[in-house]
Amino acid sequence: MTTVLHANPRQFISTDFTKQIARRSLRYLQSGFAIHLRGPAGAGKTTMAMHLASLLGRPMVLIYGDEDLKSSQLVGSNSGYTRKKVVDNYIHSVLKVEDDMQRSWVESRLTLAAREGFTLIYDEFNRSRPEVNNVLLSALEEKLIVLPPDSSQSEYVRVHPQFRAIFTSNPEEYAGVHATQDALLDRMITINIGEADIETEKLILTGRIGLGPTQSLKLINLIRSFRRRCEQTQTSSLRACLMIGRICHEHEIPISGQDEDFRALCADVLLSKAAAMAEATVALTKLLDQLP
């Protein structure tokens, strides 16, 4: 059974940075085009996609890209059998039995969203193998989804005029992702989402977890300085800020290099992502020593 969701617009933090991306994206969606939000992990792509779905005002269907995802999990498949048995004993001396078994077709998320005109969010779609995503080509261009021959349904599903698709992905140099076929990229408009500006990150920390503006800026500057020294350019600083900020706020840990709990928390969150542990430990220690 496919679950249909409704986006929560209150999770979205509106700043000049996010409003500019949302305005462009919504314009393309309203004209009927699929959009592709591409950016590093933690950049807020999924949050932006859900915000856009809420602006469209239609129910939302969510799919997560995965190496083991199959085409049947996008389109649908036969699942089990339906049995119909009729016993006719109208004439007491004659017994007539009809036993009919048919395979049951269960549609999946893409098919449901396309048929009903829902908004599809396909998160990290390039983690799925390219051949799995081939079914999207006709859905986005010809507005048809061709069903398997054994579907026991009609040969295809016609895409509803209100169907919209939002894709997110990490850049292709990330581990665990596949190169996306040009034919699919040609059917969508790609918007590159870089790291948010400091003001946006500050508002997210204050709005989502209640951290004060001064403490938020201290944390943001610390993590950005650490990432620059360790050349961690493939991830956003926002996710680490949210992790550390939430724990500090909920457990009353001061954001200060003089506090041992804060130093341990930063080491636990930040050093695990470092490629060169020894150099990263030295860099983090120096930054914490300088943090009042």
Query: Are residues 91 and 181 located together in one domain of the fold?
Result: no
Has residue 93 been placed in a domain? yes
Domain that holds residue 34: 9-75+107-192
pTM: 0.79
Has residue 177 been placed in a domain? yes
From 170, 192, 214, the end of a domain falls on: 192
Helix or strand (DSSP H, E) at 167: strand 164-169
Q: What is the predicted pLDDT for the residue at 61?
A: 94
From 106, 121, 148, the end of a domain falls on: 106
Has residue 3 been placed in a domain? no
Q: What is the pLDDT along the chain (292 residues), one digit of tens a residue?
A: 445 555 555 567 888 889 999 999 999 999 999 999 998 887 889 999 999 999 999 999 999 999 988 888 888 665 555 556 565 666 666 556 565 555 554 678 899 999 999 999 999 999 999 999 998 999 999 999 888 766 556 678 899 999 999 999 988 656 678 888 899 999 999 999 988 889 999 999 998 899 999 999 999 999 999 988 887 766 678 889 999 999 999 999 999 999 999 999 999 999 987 778 889 999 999 999 999 9
Has residue 127 been placed in a domain? yes
Query: Are residues 183 and 264 located together in one domain of the fold?
Result: no
Q: What are phi and psi of 277, to 5 degrees?
A: -65, -45
Query: Are residues 139 and 265 located together in one domain of the fold?
Result: no
Query: Are residues 84 and 207 located together in one domain of the fold?
Result: no
Query: Are residues 159 and 127 located together in one domain of the fold?
Result: yes
Query: Are residues 71 and 83 located together in one domain of the fold?
Result: no
Q: DSSP letter for 272, please.
A: G
Q: What is the CATH number of the domain that holds 24?
A: 3.40.50.300
Domain count, the chain: 3
Helix or strand (DSSP H, E) at 222: helix 213-230
Query: Are residues 15 and 120 located together in one domain of the fold?
Result: yes
Query: Are residues 181 and 237 located together in one domain of the fold?
Result: no
Query: Are residues 253 and 274 located together in one domain of the fold?
Result: yes
Q: What is the predicted pLDDT for the residue at 56?
A: 94
Has residue 4 been placed in a domain? no
Burial environment of residue 48 by CB neighbours within 10 A (0 to 12, 13 to 18, 19 or more): buried
From 152, 172, 192, the end of a domain falls on: 192
Q: What is the predicted pLDDT for the residue at 1?
A: 41
Has residue 70 been placed in a domain? yes
Has residue 2 been placed in a domain? no
Query: Are residues 112 and 101 located together in one domain of the fold?
Result: no
Q: DSSP letter for 14, please.
A: P
Has residue 48 been placed in a domain? yes
d(CA 57, CA 6): 9
Helix or strand (DSSP H, E) at 122: strand 119-123
Query: Are residues 97 and 115 located together in one domain of the fold?
Result: no
d(CA 222, CA 263): 12
Query: Are residues 63 and 206 located together in one domain of the fold?
Result: no
